[in-house]
Amino acid sequence: MTDDAPPESLDVLAVAPHPDDLEILCGGTLAKLVQQGYRVGIFDLTSGEPTPRGTHETRKREAEEARRILGVPVRVNVELPNRVLMDGPDARFALATQFRRYRPNVIIVAAGRTPAASPDHLQGGLIGEAARFYSQLTKWDERFAGTAPYRVPHLVYVPFPFEAEVRHWHSQFVVDISDTIDAKVAALRA
């Protein structure tokens, strides 16, 4: 897809720092939404490389296979730097530009501090929240590749199960993925 051709809008856009985060956190939910007819997208903030396991090409293939297994039609890598991912203006602009392009009704943001895992997880959640706000700003289109302002109506947090702090989210719900658990497991294996 070229930058000058506007993509179809998405019903749900899920965003997390690394390829595999969303498969772990809500892969079954994303597969279920696709089965219910929603247009869903996975947005990885980074490539996840370098890592001790694999290569950039390997992770790209794995992410594509996981996307295919879940039935998600759109997967975008925002191409922010792994390991040093930080909430800041440039990261906010990059993700907000994607929100403006795809105009989702709901964004799902991976959230939480994971001190035994990557600090990118916390930063990714902050970037997602801020980008939601930034995507609606007017008179700043040059920062968003000339895309039109867009206000994302709904934000849903998907907390990491091994989060460092006990949080009391203002609302909570659980999605029954009994019918898509096999797709989630297959995507994780990919």
Residue 107: closest CA among 156, 71, 149, 67: 156
Q: What Rg value do the Cα atoms of the chain yield, rounded?
A: 16
As a whole-number percent, the residues of the chain with pLDDT over 70 amount to: 91
**pLDDT score recorded for residue 2:** 37
Q: For residues 100 and 150, is the Cβ–Cβ distance under 8 A?
A: yes
C-alpha separations of 106 from 3, 54, 140 in Å: 22, 32, 23
**pLDDT score recorded for residue 107:** 98
**pLDDT score recorded for residue 50:** 85
